[in-house]
Amino acid sequence: MPDIEREFNEARERLNAIIRYEGNPEIRRSFASDSRVLRSWCVARSYDGGSDRDLTARAKKAKRGRLILVLAAMGVLLTTAAKPAASQFPEFTQFHTWTDIATIYNFSDRFRYDGDYGVRGFLTDRNWTLVYLRPSVRYRLEPWLRLHGGAALFYNFFGEIEDLPELRPWLGVRFAGPRPGGFVITNYFRLELRAFYLKGSSEWDVGLRGRWQLQVMSPRFSIGSAKEFYALTSIEPFFELGSAVEGAFGSRFRYNIGIGKAVNQGLRIDLNYLFHRVRVIEESGDLTADDHVARLRFFYSLN
């Protein structure tokens, strides 16, 4: 057993290095290109002094356990998301496509630029198209704590009625962990200032909105011979804090489920289904709209 013990000790040291330097792109590339590190990582996660056969059996058992855990987590989130959806029948149902690309540039192991840009629209008609630019920065205070801030320009094209531009600066905080079985659980809280420009009256309508997102991401897995896949799911309620225009849009609740793939060190692609419920409060009674969204996302690291 000495070879396995030695490899375990080496892997433990390398894991400590990964934890300390996970934000450094050079260290990330070094570890990702070192196949021995990846093999040592697997050994370190399953080793407890048994034989090689025991290690293989335990690895398979652990993989099954992780799969059961992610399916259970997704089931719980789906059940939670279905409750508000089942409370009333929607008056409107729309089908959307969202496409966006996020660019990432690491200034240091703690500080990085994030910017995403995209287009959203209806499949059912052409009465609404949204184009947006959303640059932002992130700062890692601790391995489990990140600060996030930025400003966005959203432009809504409505066809027969006047277009509606929106400026949206925001501040957010993300808490990462725990990691049961390799699954990553994160909580993200954001406060947004939403400023809509009303062209007809040449006035700005300003309001605040809060958001909370609970997300679960699986460990990497393979589909046949293709590797580096991952699954993710999230729920996200929105909290409107006052705006005449935003009140017309209504309160929101989102549920997302998707699958992603790391194509290489610089590129990831996600394909998501997003259920989006909108409830508009009116004197004659609440109106409900259900949006079903197919979302394609690209994440590209510039360094």
- How confident is the model at residue 80, as a pLDDT? 54
Judgement on whether residues 33 and 93 belong to the same structural domain of the protein: no
Judgement on whether residues 209 and 72 belong to the same structural domain of the protein: yes
Per-residue model confidence as pLDDT tens for the chain (303 residues): 455 566 656 666 665 555 554 445 454 444 444 444 444 444 444 434 444 455 455 555 555 565 556 556 555 555 554 454 444 555 678 898 999 999 999 999 999 999 999 999 987 777 889 999 999 999 999 999 999 999 999 999 987 788 989 999 999 999 998 888 889 999 999 999 999 888 878 888 888 889 999 999 999 999 999 999 999 999 999 887 766 555 555 568 899 999 999 999 999 999 999 998 887 655 555 677 888 999 999 999 999
**Secondary structure (DSSP) of 252-266:** EEEEEEEEEEE-SSS
Judgement on whether residues 22 and 78 belong to the same structural domain of the protein: no
Judgement on whether residues 164 and 41 belong to the same structural domain of the protein: no
Q: What total of structural domains would you count in the chain?
A: 2
Judgement on whether residues 239 and 139 belong to the same structural domain of the protein: yes
Owner of token pair 């309620």: 237
Judgement on whether residues 44 and 92 belong to the same structural domain of the protein: no
- How confident is the model at residue 50, as a pLDDT? 44
Judgement on whether residues 159 and 290 belong to the same structural domain of the protein: yes
Q: What is the pTM of this model?
A: 0.70
Residue 103 lies in a domain: yes
**CB-count exposure of residue 112 (10 Å: 0-12, 13-18, 19+):** buried
Q: Quick one: which H or E segment has residue 57?
A: helix 52-86
Q: Which residues span the domain enclosing 9?
A: 2-50
Judgement on whether residues 166 and 248 belong to the same structural domain of the protein: yes
- CB count in 10 Å sphere of residue 180: 13
Judgement on whether residues 166 and 190 belong to the same structural domain of the protein: yes
Residue 275 to residue 214: CA distance in whole angstroms: 15
Judgement on whether residues 294 and 148 belong to the same structural domain of the protein: yes
Question: For position 77, which CATH number holds?
Answer: 2.40.128
Judgement on whether residues 121 and 36 belong to the same structural domain of the protein: no
Judgement on whether residues 149 and 206 belong to the same structural domain of the protein: yes
Within 13 Å, how many C-alpha atoms sit on residue 190's CB side? 20
Within 13 Å, how many C-alpha atoms sit on residue 6's CB side? 4
Sorted by sequence, the CB contacts under 8 Å of residue 142 that are 6+ apart come out as none
Residue 60 lies in a domain: no
Given a contact cutoff of 8 angstroms between Cβ atoms, the answer to whether 138 and 147 are in contact is yes
Residue 56 lies in a domain: no
CA 127 to chain centroid: 28
Dihedrals phi, psi of 40, to nearest 5 degrees: -65, -35
- How confident is the model at residue 38, as a pLDDT? 44
Token couple for 87: 């409370």
